[in-house]
Amino acid sequence: MESAPLYWRLKRQKYNLIGTRCVTCGESFFPPRSFCPTCRRRGRIEEFQFSGKGEITSYTIIKSAPKGFEQFAPYTVAIIKLDEGALISGQVVQGTPATIGGRVVPVFRKMYEEGKEGIIHYGIKWQVDGTAAEK
Amino acid sequence: MDIGIVGYGAYVPHYRIAVEEIARVWGEDPAQIKEGLGVLEKSVPDKDEDTITIAVEAGKNALLRAGVDPKLVMALYIGSESHPYAVKPSGTVVGEALGLGPHLMVADLEFACKAGTAAIQCCYGLVKGGVIPYGMAIGADTSQGRPGDALEYTASAGGAAFLIGKDPLALLEHTLSYTTDTSDFWRREGADYPSHGARFTGKPAYFSHVTSATQLLLERTGYKPGDFAHAVFHMPNGKFPVNAALGMGFARQQIEQGLVVRRIGNTYSGSSLLGLTNVLDIALPGDRILLTSYGSGAGADAFVFQVTDHVLDRRDRAPLTEEYMARKEYIDYGKYARLRGKLKV
Ligand SMILES: [Zn+2]
């Protein structure tokens, strides 16, 4: 688990899927990178807002969850290829079950709670298309 | 000045529990309850959903419809009686998640089920006064009824968001409120479930306030019930709004589209507002809409909106309320109890 100040700094990226993109070659990065591994010193990096829409490339169902996540089990964790290129891992919410190649859209959910009295952490999870979601 | 709803958005969680299933557990007659309450099933939030996440989803839809730069939204008021934190405003998280701010006025509002309409009034005043270009008002709740209490059949989850500003899809023509000290329903700080005065909640509370606010608004504006294409009244169940409407001279077909309570239950701060989003989803330019919310304690906020041409090009930019109501998965009481934390281990 991350410490509170670090989580706070990363919040904007996590809530809004803000990553980076190399203007030189067009590759996008999430989490954001400040250096393009392909272009190296010729690379030019800028902030980039991902739509969050993408496709499931693989997934697994977690039945015994790590500490802090027990109340959510069983849940699905997937690797998602975002439409803008980057690969990201994340949780797939209840509803239409995950399938390989399934279209997903981002939804805002609770990630975990620090006990009954601590901070509640929020962030992006994914929902398998569903007609209500993709527009 | 043309100020009103520039964009709106709905959100309803996808789980449902049917009246039959709750009645089965408590050994009650489901037909009698469905008839008595006018509710067939209610929405249930998932473990990772709360007022904040519901507000974000509804707010996203409102921004999509409005097509407004989030940085121009300079106020965010969220009305709820289930804010996840007692101290730390829901609006801080919701604002950041929607890409608003940091130049942003935020406060969480509380007035039982009418805090969301109070939020619309706050935003309207600020925009009309020229203080801000746009303000967002959200009503959202994940309400709970004590196991075995009649409220358990109706207390549900959902929310709606409204971006208030110029160039609206529904012009806000007039609004007023009617408030008295009436203890029909309350929850003390730290208590898990609300208490209510059972039979007391009808006449002196809901009907008196809803009717007084609505009549006062009709007097002020000179409109008659027949001037409205649609009317929406707060829906603690499927019976109260119908009786209130018919009692004031509104016809059945004027309230039909707004009666979302039968399929999703009472979403508290989201209740009358989800009725309004469902109406805006089908309303035609020129239609007048009457909205009267109700909050225990007690008070009612009444509004007259007039739909403009913008509704036609903006409404399809985000999911319709009907899509959220139709998207559902039924659960049994065991799963419901687990999701809602009703099992104390
Ligand atoms: Zn590059």
- How many H-runs (helices) and E-runs (strands) does chain B carry? 13, 14
Residues A41 and A57 in one domain: no
Q: Phi and psi at residue B37, in whole multiples of 5°?
A: -95, -20
> Do A3 and A20 have their domain in common?
yes
Residues A29 and A62 in one domain: no
Closest Cβ opposite residue A110 in set B53, B60, B317: B53
Per-residue tokens: B138: 């959200």
CB hemisphere CA count around A105 (13 angstroms): 13
Q: Are residues A1 and A15 in the same domain?
A: yes
A34 shares its domain with A70:
no
What ipTM was predicted for this assembly?
0.92
Query: Do residues B301 and B162 make contact, with C-beta atoms less than 8 angstroms apart?
Result: no
B67: Cβ–Cβ under 8 A, 6 or more apart, which residues?
Answer: B7, B314, B317
Catalytic residue among B113, B122, B196, B209: B113
The whole-angstrom distance between B113's CA and the closest CA on chain A is 23
Q: What is residue A132's predicted lDDT score, i.e. its pLDDT? A: 41
Catalytic (active site) residue B113:
yes
Residues with pLDDT less than 70, chain B: 198-201, 343-345
Mark whether A36 and A65 lie in a shared domain.
no
Q: Which residue does chain B place closest to A133, by CA atoms?
A: B319
Nearest Cβ partner of B323 from A15, A93, A131? A131
Distance from Cα A119 to the centre of ligand 1, integer Å = 38
Identify the band that residue A12 occupies on the pLDDT scale cut at 50, 70 and 90. confident
Tell me what pLDDT residue B189 has: 75
Q: What residues of chain B lie within 8 A of the CB of A93, using their CB?
A: 46, 48
B341 or A38: which carries more pLDDT confidence? Answer: A38
- Kindly state whether residues A7 and A63 are assigned to the same domain: no
Considering the domain architecture, whether residues A30 and A83 belong to the same structural domain is answered as: no
Tell me: do A128 and A70 sit in the same domain. yes
- HSE-CB at B173 with a 13 A cutoff on CA atoms is 18
Which residues of chain B are within 8 Å of residue A125 when distances are taken between CB atoms?
48
Measured between CA atoms, how close is A98 to chain B, in angstroms? 16
Query: What is the domain-level CATH number for residue A99?
Result: 2.40.50.840
Q: Which residues contact A47 (CB under 8 A, 6 or more apart)?
A: A18, A19, A20, A21, A32
3-state secondary structure of B161: strand
Predicted confidence at residue B318, as pLDDT, reads 97
Instruction: Judge whether B35 counts as a catalytic residue.
Output: no
pLDDT tens-digit map of B279-331: 999 999 999 999 999 999 999 999 999 999 999 999 999 999 999 999 999 99
pLDDT at A22 over 60: yes
Domains of chain B: 3-170+312-338 (3.40.47.10), 174-308 (3.40.47.10)
Q: Please tell me whether residues A55 and A45 are part of one structural domain.
A: no
Phi-psi region of A85 (alpha: psi -120 to 50; beta: other; left: phi over 0): left
The Cα–Cα gap between B175 and B308 comes to: 18
pLDDT at A2: 44
Tens-digit pLDDT profile for residues A80-117:
999 999 999 999 998 889 999 999 999 999 998 888 88
Residue B342 has a pLDDT of: 77
Say whether both A60 and A20 belong to one domain. no
Are A118 and A77 members of one domain?
yes
CB contact under 8 A, B96 and A108: no
Whole-number pLDDT of residue B115:
97
pLDDT at B195: 78
Q: Of A12, A34, A49, which residue constitutes the final position of a domain? A: A49
Tally of structural domains, chain A: 2
Taking chain A, what is the end-to-end CA distance rounded to the nearest angstrom? 34
Q: How high is the pLDDT of residue B191?
A: 78
Q: Which domain holds residue A35?
A: 1-49
